[in-house]
Chains A and B, each alone.
Chain A
Amino acid sequence: MTDAGSTAGPGQPPALAIRGLAKAFGATRALRGVDISIRAGEVRALLGENGSGKSTLIKILSGYHAADEGEVRVAGVVLPQGDPQASAALGLRFVHQNLGVIDTLTVAENVYLTAGYPVRAGTILERKVRAEVARDLARVGLSLNPDQRLEELTPAERTGVAVARSLRGSQPGEAAVLVLDEPTANLPENEVMRLLAIVRSVAAEGTAVLYVTHRLEEIFEVAHSVTVLRDGEEAVTAPIAELDHVAILHHMLGERLEQVEQSIESGRPTVQGPPMLGVRGLSASRLTDITLSVRPGEIVGIAGITGSGREELVGAIFGAIERTAGEVDVDGHPLKPLRPDLAIGFGVAFVPASRERSGGFMEHTARENLTLPRIRSFWRWPTLRLGQERADAAAWYERLRVRPPDRLEASLSSFSGGNQQKILFAKWLQCRPRVFLLEEPTQGVDVATKAFLHTQLANAAREGAAVFISSSDAEELVALCHRVLVLKEGRICAELSGSDLTTSHISYHSLGTAKRGDYA
Chain B
Amino acid sequence: MKRDRPRLNLGLDRFSGLYIWALIIIVFSVWQPALFPTMATVHSVASEQAITGILALAVLIPLAAGAYDLSVGSTINLSCILVTELMANDHWGMVPSIVVTLLVGVLIGAVNGLLVVRLHIDSFIATLGMATIVAAVQTIVSGNNQPVPAEGTAWNNLTQTSVFGFQIVFVYLIVIAVVLWWMLQRTPAGRYLFAIGGNREAARLSGVKVSRYVWLSLILSGGLSGLGGVLYASLLGPSLTFGQGMLLPAFAAVFLGSTQIRPGRFNVWGTLLAVYVLATGVKGLQLITGVQWLNDMFNGVALIGAVGFAVWRQRAAARRRLVGARAGDGTPSAPGGPPPGPGNAGMLPGHQVSGQASSGAAQARAVQA
Question: A358 contacts B205, CB within 8 Å?
Answer: yes
Separation of A357 and B337 alpha carbons in the complex (Å): 7
Once the chains bind, are A100 and B354 in contact (CB under 8 Å)?
yes
Q: Closest approach, in angstroms, between the C-beta of A314 and any C-beta of chain B?
A: 11
Q: Are B323 and A416 in contact (CB under 8 A)?
A: no
A155 at the interface (CB under 8 A from B): no
Minimum CB–CB distance from B174 to chain A (whole Å) comes to 18
Is A270 interfacial (CB 8 A cutoff)? Answer: no
B92-124 contact mask (Cβ, 8 Å, vs A): 1 or 0? 000000000000000000000000000000000
A379 & B188 in contact (Cβ 8 Å cutoff): yes
A96 touches B205 (CB 8 A): no
Min distance, Cβ A197 to any Cβ of chain B, angstroms:
24
Q: Tell me, yes or no, whether B152 is within 8 Å of chain A by CB.
A: no
With a cutoff of 8 Å between Cβ atoms, the chain A residues found around residue B205 in the complex are 318, 320, 340, 350, 352, 358-359
Q: Which residues of B contact A512 (CB under 8 A)?
A: none
List 5 A-B pairs, minimum CB-CB distance, nearest first: A30-B328, A50-B330, A25-B327, A100-B356, A417-B331
B308 CB within 8 Å of chain A: no
Is B51 an interface residue when CB atoms closer than 8 A count as contact? no
Q: Which of B312-366 contact A (CB under 8 A)?
A: 321-338, 340, 344, 348-351, 354-359, 362
A51 and B194 contact, CB distance less than 8 A:
no
Instruction: Contact check, B331 vs A375: say whether CB atoms are below 8 A apart.
Output: no
Query: Do A414 and B207 have beta carbons less than 8 Å apart?
Result: no
Q: How far is the CA of A232 from the CA of B209 in the complex (A)?
A: 46
Instruction: Name B324's contact: one of A26, A31, A340, A344 (CB within 8 Å).
Output: A26
Contacts of B362 in A (CB 8 A): 102, 104
- Count the A residues whose beta carbon is within 8 Å of the partner chain — how many? 81
Give Cα A23–Cα B323 distance, bound, in whole angstroms: 11
> Can you list 8 residue pairs at the A/B interface with Cβ under 8 Å?
A25-B324, A50-B329, A357-B199, A362-B334, A372-B208, A384-B191, A414-B325, A445-B331
Contacts of B182 in A (CB 8 A): 382-383
Complex contact A356–B331 (CB within 8 A): no
Whether B359 and A55, one on each chain, are in contact in the complex, defined by CB atoms closer than 8 angstroms, is no
CB-based contact A363/B327 at 8 Å: no
Is there contact, CB below 8 Å, between A114 and B357? Answer: yes
Beyond A25-B324, A26-B3, A368-B191, is A55–B331 a contact (Cβ under 8 Å)?
A: yes
Total A-B residue pairs with C-beta atoms closer than 8 Å? Answer: 198
Point out the residue from B187, B337, B359 that lies within 8 Å of A413, measured CB to CB.
Answer: B337
Cβ < 8 Å to A, chain B residues 235-253? none
Q: Does B204 contact A (CB under 8 A)?
A: yes
> B330, B350, B358 — which one has the most chain A CB atoms within 10 A of its CB?
B330
Q: Other than A27-B1, A101-B357, A372-B208, give 11 A-B pairs with Cβ distance below 8 A.
A: A52-B330, A104-B362, A182-B331, A318-B205, A340-B204, A341-B207, A350-B205, A359-B202, A359-B205, A363-B198, A413-B334
Give Cα A344–Cα B325 distance, bound, in whole angstroms: 32
| B338 touching A97, Cβ below 8 Å | no
Q: How far apart are the CA atoms of A321 and B201 in the complex, in Å?
A: 11
Q: Is the interface of B mostly helix, strand, loop or mixed?
A: loop
Least Cβ–Cβ distance between B186 and chain A, in angstroms: 4
Give the chain A neighbours of B80 by CB distance below 8 A: none
Q: What is the CA–CA distance of A417 and B310 in the complex, to the nearest angstrom?
A: 28
Compute how far the CA of A238 lies from the CA of B322 in the bound complex, rounded to whole angstroms: 32
Provide the residues of chain B in CB contact with A194, threshold 8 Å.
none
Asked if A406 and B1 make an inter-chain contact with CB atoms under 8 angstroms apart, the answer reads: yes
Question: In the complex, A266→B328 CA distance in Å?
Answer: 31
Q: Is the CB of A360 within 8 A of B199?
A: yes
Taking a contact as CB atoms under 8 Å apart, the answer to whether A30 and B327 are in contact is yes
Q: B residues within 8 A CB of A362?
A: 198-199, 334, 337-338, 350
- A384 lies within 8 A of B187 (CB): yes
Within the complex, the shortest CB–CB distance from A334 to chain B, in Å, comes to 17
Query: A30: which B residues are within 8 A, CB to CB?
Result: 327-329
**Which residue of B has the minimal Cβ distance to A385?**
B186
A50 x B324 contact (CB < 8 A): no
Are the CB atoms of B328 and A55 closer together than 8 Å? yes
CB pair A53 B328 closer than 8 Å = yes
The smallest beta-carbon distance between B262 and chain A, in angstroms, is: 11
Q: Say yes or no: is A345 at the interface (Cβ < 8 Å to chain B).
A: yes
- Chain A residues contacting B311 (CB-CB under 8 Å) are none
State the Cβ distance, A323 to closest chain B Cβ, in Å: 15
Contact in complex: A446, B349 (CB < 8 Å): no
A-contacting residues, B1-48, CB 8 Å: 1-3
Q: Do the beta carbons of A25 and B328 come within 8 Å of each other?
A: yes
The verdict on A312 contacting chain B, using a C-beta distance below 8 Å, is no
Inter-chain CA distance A427–B335, complex, in Å, is: 22
User: Within 8 Å of chain B (Cβ to Cβ): is A411?
Assistant: yes
A404 at interface, CB cutoff 8 A: yes
In whole angstroms, how far apart are the Cα atoms of A417 and B333 in the complex? 5
